[in-house]
Amino acid sequence: MTERTRSSRIRDKESPRTTSPDALGSRRIALVEDDADIAYTIRLNLRKHGWQVDHFVSGLRAIEAIEQKPYDLVILDLNLPDIDGLAVARELRQHDETRKITILMLTARVEERDKLLGFDVGADDYLTKPFSMKELVARVSAHLRRAASFDASEDDTYETEGLRIDRPRFEVTVGGRLVRLTKKEFDLLWYLVKNRGRVVTRDAILARLWDYDADVETRTVDVHIRSLRRKLGDRWIDTIVGVGYRFLERPEEK
Is residue 12 included in any domain, yes or no? no
For residues 127 and 217, state if they share a domain.
Answer: no
User: Residue 116, Cβ neighbours under 10 Å: how many?
Assistant: 16
Residue at which a domain ends, from 100, 120, 148? 148
Clarify whether residues 135 and 215 are in a common domain. Answer: no
93, 34: one domain = yes
One domain, residues 169 and 135 = no
Q: What pLDDT is attached to residue 13?
A: 59
Identify whether residues 35 and 85 lie together within a single domain.
yes
Both 223 and 189 in one domain: the answer is: yes
In a domain, 235, yes or no: yes
The DSSP secondary structure of 13-82, one letter per residue, reads S-----S-HHHHTT-EEEEE---HHHHHHHHHHHHHTT-EEEEES-HHHHHHHHHHS--SEEEEES--SS
Residue 126 domain-assigned (yes or no): yes
Q: Give pLDDT, residue 1.
A: 40
Mind listing the pLDDT tens digit of every residue in the chain (254 residues)? 444 444 345 655 555 554 444 455 578 999 999 999 999 999 999 999 999 999 999 999 999 999 998 899 999 999 999 999 999 999 998 888 898 899 999 888 777 778 778 888 888 888 888 889 999 999 999 888 877 665 444 568 899 989 999 988 889 999 999 998 888 899 999 999 999 989 999 988 988 887 654 456 677 888 899 999 999 998 999 999 989 999 998 765 55
Tell whether 196 is covered by a domain: yes
Residue 84 and residue 124 share a domain: yes
Cβ(145)–Cβ(112) below 8 Å: no
pLDDT on residue 211: 67
Question: 178 and 109 in one domain?
Answer: no
Same domain, 75 and 127: yes
The CATH number linked to 237 is 1.10.10.10
pLDDT at 3: 40
Structural domains counted in the chain: 2
Q: Which domain holds residue 61?
A: 21-148
Backbone φ and ψ of 88, nearest 5°: -65, -45
Residue 3 lies in a domain: no
